Structure formats: structure tokens, C-alpha cells
Structure 1
């Protein structure tokens, strides 16, 4: 009977051992499966990070290319500015201007002087041919456009110099 009991206990112990081994293998398989799933997730995250990094790298390269292009444009424009400044200096030298004088104002003054001289010439010819109507039109144009102060030489921005202002006044008096 003891043998039977012993056999029965041995059989039970083998059974417990089998369940224990099966349980250990099951736990090991679950751990391996969890490890595998965790590794897959980590690989996916790593791939996403690599993709994001590659995109950022591409973006940085694009920005660097744009910066280089902008620097080239800045250099080109700086060269153009230097050329234009040298041309402006040449024009100022040619027109005998000071550095602080306004180029536009000086050019406008010179254009006004040229126009006034051409009108004075037409006025002088009209007086010489005794064409009072044309002479009066010239006076009206000159006085309306430039004003008496600029024509008689008393204004700061006079269109006639001393001799020309005197000639204008002389012709105007002849007509009157």
C-alpha cells in the first residue's frame, strides 16, 4: 500500500512538475511576446523619429540654401549701391554740387532756368518783330510759371542771373 501511495504521490508530483514546467514556459512565452511587441513599438518610434529628423534636416538645408541665396542678393545689391553711389558722386561733381545739396532740387532749378531762357528768347524775338500778342503770352507764361521774384533775380531760386534779369525787365518795360 505504501508503494501505491508512493506511486500515487510520484504521479502527482510528476503532474505538478509538468504543470510547473508548462507554467514557466507559458510565462516565458508571454515575456518573449511582450518583449517582441515592445521592440516593435520602439522600432516604429525610432523610424518616426528618423523620418522627423530627416524632414528637419531637409528643412534646415532648404533654409541654408535660402540664406545663401539671400546673401548673394545682398552682395549684388551692395555692389549696385556702390556703383550708383559712384555715379551719383560723378553727377554731383559734374553739376558742381555740395554733398548736402538736394540733387532733385538742383536739377529742377536747372530745368526751370532752361525753360525760362527759352521763353525769354521767344519774348525777345516777339519784341524784335513787334508781335505784342506773342510777347504778352511769353510774359504771362513766365510770370505765371515762375513768379516775379524768380524772374527779376530777387528770389533765392531765381531763374535769371543778374544780366538776364535786367534784360527781362528791360524787354518788359519796352512792351509796356
Structure 2
């Protein structure tokens, strides 16, 4: 035929389009640098550029660009050219949580609460809100807020800075 209706190419592109690539694997969101970027992406509504993100987080522009490329490959962010236009922050936070082991990333301190978990929770309720310390409850006790059927387990707290509330509970049982 002099003018075929169908043309078949026997050689394709060198790489798949971005939406068809296999998502990147590896320790993408581990560490404090990735944590700073994830926190900013989750807290601040887009649009933003890599240069602004680098400046706001104190990270280098190449580091931010690599992280954004990987996040886009994993469909956690969407960009229009060089501008981040949307962030799937629930999936982003889940991905960060899946890749971060808090017990390895920090130095845990075991403490016995002689008056029980309820006394610790009551004391926490009295010490927060005044801007004294950042104390976060995690684990099964935090899950009770969403699923009241969660039972027992160990009370796990994340305390920013040097350990003083935990030391107080340990040394002052009453």
C-alpha cells in the first residue's frame, strides 16, 4: 500500500512517562531532613517551588529537588512544571510513618508509673497548654481517640527536649 492507515513503530521511548513509572523505593522519607520537608508539605497549602521549600526548611536545593522527584514518582505530590500544586498529605504522612522507626530514631527511656497510666494522663492534662513542653501521646492510648475499643498496652509519649516530665513521674510517685 502506498499510504497505510496504520503505522507501527517497533522501537519505543527510552523511559516510561512519569505517570507509568514504577515508584521509587528505598529510604526516601527517613531522617530529619526529609522530616522537615514532609512537615512543611503537610502544614502549608501549595503552590510552592523547590527554591521556596529549600529556603523555608534550611535544606539544599538539590536535596529538596531529589525528594520532590521521588514524592512525585510515588504520587504523593503533583507538580505543574516546577510548581508543586497539590500534596496528598494523608498518604505522605503514612509513608513517612511507615519508613520511620521512632524507637530507633530516638533514645527511648523506660519509666514506671507507680500510680498508673491514668495518673500520668491526668498530670499531662495539667502540664500541657501552658506552653511548657511539647508532649505527644502515641500508640494504643492515642488510638483510643479514634477507636475506643483499643485496649491496654504501654503508654508511649514523645517528649521534645531533655526528659523532665518522665523523670518527675518516676521520682515523685505521689
TM-score by length of 1: 0.22
- Give the number of the structure with larger relative contact order, counting CA–CA contacts within 8 Å between residues 6 or more apart: 2
Larger radius of gyration: 1
| Structure with greater strand percent | 2
